[in-house]
Amino acid sequence: MDVSQYLSMFLEESMENLSKLNDSLLELEQKPDNLEVVNEIFRVSHTIKGMSATMGYMKISELTHKMEDVLSKFRDGTLKVNRDVVTLLFKCLDTLESMINNISDGNNDEMDIEAIVVDLAGILEDKPIENINETIEEKLKLEDHHMNIINIDKTPYFVYEIKIVLADTVLLKTARVFIFFREIEKYGDIIHTLPSTQDIETENFDLEVDILYVTMMAKEKLQDIIKHISEIKKVAIKEINSDNVKKSYGNEVFINLEEASENLKNNIKSDDAKSEEISQVKNNRVVNEENINKVQINANNKDVTKEKASKSKQSMSIKKGTQSVRVDLDRLDMVMNMVSELVIHRTRLEQISNTYNSSELNETLEQIARSTSELQDLVMKIRMLPLEVVFNRFPRMIRDLSLELNKDIQFIIEGASTELDRTVIDEIGEPLIHLLRNAVDHGIETKEKRVEAGKNPTGQIQLYAYQEGTKAVIKIRDDGKGLDVDKIKAKAEKVGISSTNGMSDTDIKNLIFLEGFSTNDKVTDISGRGVGMDVVKTKISSLGGTIDLQSEVGKGSTFVIKLPLTLQIIKALLVKVNGETMAISLGFVDSVINWKEDLIKKSNNKEVLSYRDEIIPLIRMSKKFSLDSGICNLNNESSYIIVAKVGEKIAALLVDDLLGQQEIVIKNLGKSLQGLKEYIGATILGDGLVTLIVDVASIIS
């Protein structure tokens, strides 16, 4: 069978499962007694094992199989979760990720996993835990109405806990379980299942199923009936009563149905009627949805029936809500480019309409404009991704760094559902990694120093995001030692930076963003080379964003990043500067005022604007872009001042004229013009004119 056609699907689903595995392992370390987390890890590992075996990647299958052996010990209670075991499982996760990446690069999954397999085997050889304190009631998660059924006078009825283990080769787990339910419901009632019926319907379980069952049938007779159901590997039946339900849960005594297959054949031959019924069950490997829905789990009280009905409705709504289609990213980019071109042509049509002043043309264009805007918004939403796809990788990184540096750190994430354009999502990960690593290394002190300073020995790092107008705001805050201005000054003089006299504390703190600047005297694997913060500043600026720093000695630091929601289509203010048309993103525009000579003052031989009780630096755009040619008088009454804000910084931009607001499509300048820091790109206006888009953040800084 040629499975190469499924490779892309295998890679995508494998990376999704590895991400789930990472999150679950982090949760397991925090909640070592949570069996649901263990079961989730087991399910994901089992899924990866099955997919990789199907695709022929046996090394991945072998490693996940060994992981399952350890996870089984967790589930059985014979092995306790501790940091060392979780660290080893993370090592397995990293190895699996490397294998998947190798396959993605066109190689195979061949990797040396002998050492990690030996480590896993070493864990399995540890002595089992002797005392298992979990009771039957706790294990099966029994509720009050279940206990009432167990405790009432049941003569001549019996209450059994039945545990079945499906065969490894089972094709349809859900169908096989419901066939099992159908058979035993002929002789009694199922009052509880673990996993829940909803999880069974959605195949959200492994190979084991526990049920609480009421019947008049003796245990031996019940075992004989279950033996005749195919694809059930093992079965354990235990009688439950009011005396033992509160006692500690012991190991199940399983009957291996596969080993007893020869005896079963003899028994089947002796009972013709039963044989015919069993053959129907064996041949019924494919059970359609209609048959499955006919299977009902009944109880002796109305509450259980209502619970089942509500769960079925929830299951149906979940199935409907999770319908999705995988689309190649290149196709999304093509759709976005086509919509961008449509916006340009729409603008051109609007200009032609203004020239001819045709009412019919105007009405049609209004409808086109409305439809184009709706299509544009729809495509933008399709391209949007939640920040959680980036944020989810950080808890593991913080955990590993805190162990390496012997620091206790609480990491808090909020606002991960905030959405950004895919282009921004792809690029923002690297700057956030640098900022978080610095927070762990530079910001948070050691436990001893925090105690000396009267702080909680456990440091705290917060990463949170939210939307603010047309921008997304990401903040990284730590409660560490903060930035020492005097130390930064001394370092600045040491590396040859001109005198810092006259610089504000904010400007001095911002020196850490310079290339090659680091306050760490010692170079480590984590920091100290002075490249991290420079990369952060450069990358965020290239995305059309800004970064601000707030810090207080002894209390910590906060980095505030503001990014545009999209890098494709923005609303801009078109201006004239000495005959040249330029575009300024409306996201930076705070206000626009008419030019008046008396508003301009001088401070330290620099022009400033006195506006709303603030002194704002004035930037003459013609001088900034070397456009002085005498064509236009900058000080005439038709000039305008644009007050622009970039984070905490503010400046007044002097332009000759305003041409109005317009939606524009951002086009890259190309490799030959990448060095122009004053522009973030260019756009094509409706009349075909190519217009440069000003990088306000670069000009102000």
Print the SS3 string covering 10-50: HHHHHHHHHHHHHHHHHHHHHCCCCHHHHHHHHHHHHHHHH
Contact 219, 227 (CB under 8 A): no
Residue 358: C-alpha distances to residues 352, 365, 477, 485, 662 (Å): 10, 10, 57, 65, 22
Which strand ranges, in their side-by-side order, compose the sheet holding 600-603? 589-594, 640-646, 649-655, 614-620, 606-611, 600-603
* Distance separating alpha carbons of residues 139 and 338, to the nearest angstrom: 57
Instruction: Enumerate residues 6+ apart whose C-beta is below 8 A from 428.
Output: 387, 390, 420, 474, 539, 543, 561, 563
Catalytic residue among 22, 29, 40, 46: 46
For residue 438, indicate whether it is catalytic. yes
The three-class DSSP label of residue 683 is: strand
Which strand ranges, in their side-by-side order, compose the sheet holding 208-215? 188-194, 208-215, 158-166, 232-239, 255-256
- DSSP type of residue 248: B
For residue 68, indicate whether it is catalytic. yes
Torsion of CA 213, 219, 221, 222, to 10 degrees: 30
Catalytic residue among 22, 438, 510, 578: 438
Catalytic residue among 13, 68, 185, 607: 68
Tokens read off for 59: 């090394």
Kindly provide the residue ranges of all beta strands, DSSP E only, lying in 469-568, ordered along the sequence. 471-478, 546-552, 556-564
Instruction: Enumerate residues 6+ apart whose C-beta is below 8 A from 241.
Output: 150, 159
For residue 345, indicate whether it is catalytic. no
DSSP string, 65-124: HHHHHHHHHHHHTSS---HHHHHHHHHHHHHHHHHHHHHHTT-------HHHHHHHHHHH
Q: Which amino acid is at 498?
A: S
> Is the sign of the CA dihedral 662, 666, 672, 676 positive or negative?
positive
Q: Which of 502, 507, 699 is nearest to 618 (CA)?
A: 699
Tokens read off for 591: 């206000």
The three-class DSSP label of residue 57 is: coil
> Is the sign of the CA dihedral 686, 689, 690, 695 positive or negative?
negative
Residues identified as active-site: 46, 68, 438
